[in-house]
Amino acid sequence: MNTMYRRMICTYLIGAWAVTSVQAQDWSKVTIRTVPLADNLYVLVGGGGNVALLVGEEGALLVDTGYEQTIEKITAAVKAVTDKPIRLVVNTHWHFDHVGGNEALAKSGSVIIAHENARKLMSEDRHVAVIDTDVPASPAGALPVVTFADSMTLHWGNEEVRIIHVPAAHTDNDCIVHFTKSNVLHMTDTWFNGMFPFIDLNAGGSLDGVVHAFDLALTLVDDKTKIIPGHGPGADLADLREYHGMLVTVRDRVRAMKVEGKTRDEIIAAKPTKEYDPKWGKSWLDPDTWVGLVYDAMNRSATSSNDLEAIKRFRAAHDRAALALDAHAMAALWSEDGIILPPGSPPVVGKEAVERFLNDNYSSAEGARYIRNKHDYIDTRIVGEWAFESGAFDAAWMAGDSDEPFTMRGNMLRVLRRQPDGTWRCARAAWNIHDQSGPTDTD
Ligand SMILES: [Zn+2]
């Protein structure tokens, strides 16, 4: 971790959402700190959600615009870095501590880009229940003029800026922003670093979606990546893994108790966050309130058909990312310390269970080839909903035009996905048997 980066971001106010009355804040006391992350890429801290600034030949690009009341200070901070105009603005989601400067920037010529649901929610009078706050519709001049459904890539200066919608997470319109060349990832409010993550129920948020955002982030980062959370100090891969583990564990505990038929009050009383409270439970979102939120989000009936379609598209894209057997992503997952085994999971760890699984479930789509396993070893790691297995085996291989099986040595890597009913299903396997190699779908 770049300690300078951590220290500089660390001292800033945790979240607009901590301020129950925005009017009560003394805006004159706000200061914006500019922290360089890479050539031409900075994070501006202190004026709402963490703002990213990218300077290209063409002008400046901002990710988020802070509060309405802090935009002058933010633009002054931009001017201290570059005299180029702010031409492009990306809103990571609709919340007022991320879009408050939109109108002022649009007036001076910035083009504002956001997910289509962000524009929709900004266009309406809304109420955010958890903080009991009315949020009036934004003025027309503050609304994003370019919207998209799933993702968009901007090419600015020498940078590639990937904007990726992560559905039903903190809200229904969060986008994480990946500066691929600088190796910087902005996680927006899917991550409140230093506290349990706020979930905006009225705006379609869920803990599952937050976990999926982290699953995706784990496939995008390496140990050099600088990660900007929506609120809180700058972070790195180790922080990302630690927080991801907490999210998955708490989600699975709450879900398991809910399946057992425990009530909301009983689940809160069972303290499913207990060991995490000293680290993440000291903010305005206390552990009981947060567990209640997690429960309510699970208890909510299905989101709109629009959201469900977005979730389906995300899962398809995410599965491809996770299952590409990309060495980088796999390395990140394999280096997890120990096994994260959600409560209530079937026993898939260990040779016997894995063999049973193979015998029950494993066959190719065509039935033209199969693996009968005589493993030398199988190593299984479970990370959230995913299990990764590797091993060496003697394979019986049936060639397509021959019914004569023959045996040879192979190495395999298999990815399993936990199903809603708790069973595991092989999503993809890759194996290498001499020259027969490469990932093969087995669904
Ligand atoms: Zn937010």
* Ranges 157-161, 171-175, 319-323: which has the least confidence: 319-323
Using the Cα atoms of residue 143, residue 148, residue 149 and residue 153 in order, give the sign of their dihedral.
Answer: negative
Residue 162 Cα to ligand 1 midpoint, Å, equals 20
For ligand 1, the distance from its centroid to the CA atom of residue 48, given in whole angstroms, is 10
Residue 173 corresponds to which tokens in the numbers above?
């319109």
Output the CA 376–ligand 1 centroid distance in Å. Answer: 49
Centre of ligand 1 from the C-alpha of residue 103, in Å: 18
Q: At what angle do helices 207-220 and 327-334 cross, to 10 degrees?
A: 120
For residue 383, report the distance from its CA to the centre of ligand 1, in Å: 27
Residue 6 to residue 3: CA distance in whole angstroms: 5
pLDDT attached to residue 339: 27
User: How many H-runs (helices) and E-runs (strands) does the chain carry?
Assistant: 13, 19
385: closest CA among 355, 410, 357, 421?
Answer: 421
Q: 129 CA to middle of ligand 1, Å?
A: 13
pLDDT attached to residue 428? 60
CA separation for the pair 224, 91 (Å, rounded): 25
Q: How confident is the model at residue 67 (pLDDT cuts 50, 70, 90)?
A: very high
Distance 279 CA to ligand 1 centre (A): 21
Give me the DSSP letters along 133-188. Answer: EEEPPPPGGGS-SEEESSEEEEEETTEEEEEEE-TTSSSSS-EEEEETTTTEEEEE
359, with CB counted inside 10 A (0-12, 13-18, 19+), is: exposed
H helix or E strand, kind and range, residue 253: helix 237-260
> In the numeric block, which tokens belong to residue 32?
């914006």
**Does the pLDDT value for residue 335 go beyond 80?**
no
Q: How far is the CA of 37 from the centre of ligand 1 (A)?
A: 22
Question: How many angstroms is it from 296 CA to the middle of ligand 1?
Answer: 18
Q: Which amino acid is at 151?
A: S
Q: How many CB atoms lie within 10 A of CB 69?
A: 17
Instruction: Output the pLDDT for position 414.
Output: 65
Report the separation in Å between the CA atom of 23 and the middle of ligand 1, taken as the mean of its atom positions. Answer: 18
* Residue predicted with more confidence, 340 or 181: 181
d(CA 29, ligand 1 centre) in Å? 22
What is the Å distance from ligand 1's center to 25 Cα?
A: 18
| CATH match for 340-441 among 3.30.300, 3.10.450, 1.50.10, 3.30.460 | 3.10.450
Task: Output the CA 173–ligand 1 centroid distance in Å.
Answer: 10
DSSP state for residue 96 in the 8-state scheme: H
Residue 114 Cα to ligand 1 midpoint, Å, equals: 14
Rg of the chain on CA atoms, in Å: 23
CATH 3.60.15.10 residue ranges of the chain are: 3-322
| 370/222: higher pLDDT | 222
Q: Which residue has the higher pLDDT, 298 or 44?
A: 44
Alpha carbons within 13 angstroms on the beta-carbon side of residue 196 total 31
Tokens of 198: 């706020």
Tell me the CA–centroid distance for residue 394 and ligand 1, in Å: 52
Q: How far is the CA of 118 from the centre of ligand 1 (A)?
A: 11
Ligand 1 midpoint to CA 269 (Å): 27
- Distance from residue 14's CA to the centre of ligand 1 (Å): 12
CATH 3.10.450 residue ranges for the chain: 340-441
HSE (side-chain half, CA atoms, 13 Å) at 129 = 13
pLDDT over 50 at 2, yes or no = no
In 18-155, which ranges are continuous DSSP H helix?
71-81, 96-99, 102-107, 116-122
CA 365 to ligand 1 center in whole angstroms: 43
> What is the pLDDT at residue 382?
62
Mean pLDDT lowest among 42-56, 211-225, 238-252, 308-322:
308-322
Tell me how far the alpha carbon of residue 113 lies from the centroid of ligand 1, in angstroms.
16
pLDDT tens by residue, 210-232: 988 988 888 788 889 999 999 99
Which tokens hold the place of 117?
A: 């649901």
Of the options 3.40.50.720, 3.40.50.880, 3.60.15.10, 3.40.50.300, the CATH number for the domain spanning 3-322: 3.60.15.10
How many CB atoms are closer than 10 A to CB 406? 10
85 Cα: distance to centroid of ligand 1 (angstroms): 26
The three-class DSSP label of residue 113 is strand
- Region 339-351: mean pLDDT is 34
C-alpha atoms less than 13 angstroms from C-alpha of 401 in its C-beta half-sphere: 0
Q: What is the dihedral of CA 6, 10, 12, 16, to 10 degrees?
A: 100
